[in-house]
Amino acid sequence: MTNKSPWYYIVHWLRLYFGAHLLFSGIRYAATGYVPEIPGVGGEWVQANANIYLYQMIKYLEIVTGAMIFFNRFTLLGLILEFPATVNIFWLNTFIVATPRQLFTGPQELFMNGVLLLAYSGWMFAAVRPKLEPLWLWTGAAAYRPAIGSRIFDKTNANNN
């Protein structure tokens, strides 16, 4: 067994904790219909979302993304899919409701999702490159070949010669 950095264990602990948190929150809603009491305009906003079934969709998305993150299957995709809800929860809990419980959960959720996105961000390298060539999902393994961006240039040069 190789000697792993402490960050390896910290990131995996955060991944497990965040995934379990999302799974618990989503499954609790699916099993019981539990919606936390939120005071003021924040509660009205949550109720309005429930009235148009957006709240329910987010809770079921939490089950899916929580499972992805917890079981380390499509982890980065789960983190990306959960991020808009995380920012929403952070904003609502921190600036709109701002009760002690919400002041803990909002920043905690943004911190965990943000740190995990940063920890897995190396896998997003292709997404933030300034120029990419088309690469279909079913030929995605080609992305792991060196000099993938030069493949079209090489074909053009071969046709011109």
107-159 pLDDT tens trace: 999 999 999 999 999 888 777 778 878 888 888 887 777 665 555 545 545 55
Distance CA 85, CA 89 (A): 6
Which whole-number Å values give the CA distances from 36 to 10, 46, 78, in the listed order? 30, 9, 24
CB 117 within 8 A of CB 133: no
Average pLDDT value for the chain: 87
Of 110, 106, 82, 86, the residue nearest 94 (C-alpha): 106
What digits encode the pLDDT tens for the residues 29-51? 999 998 888 889 999 999 999 99
* Percentage of residues in the chain having pLDDT higher than 70: 89
144: alpha, beta or left? (left if phi > 0; alpha if psi -120 to 50) = alpha
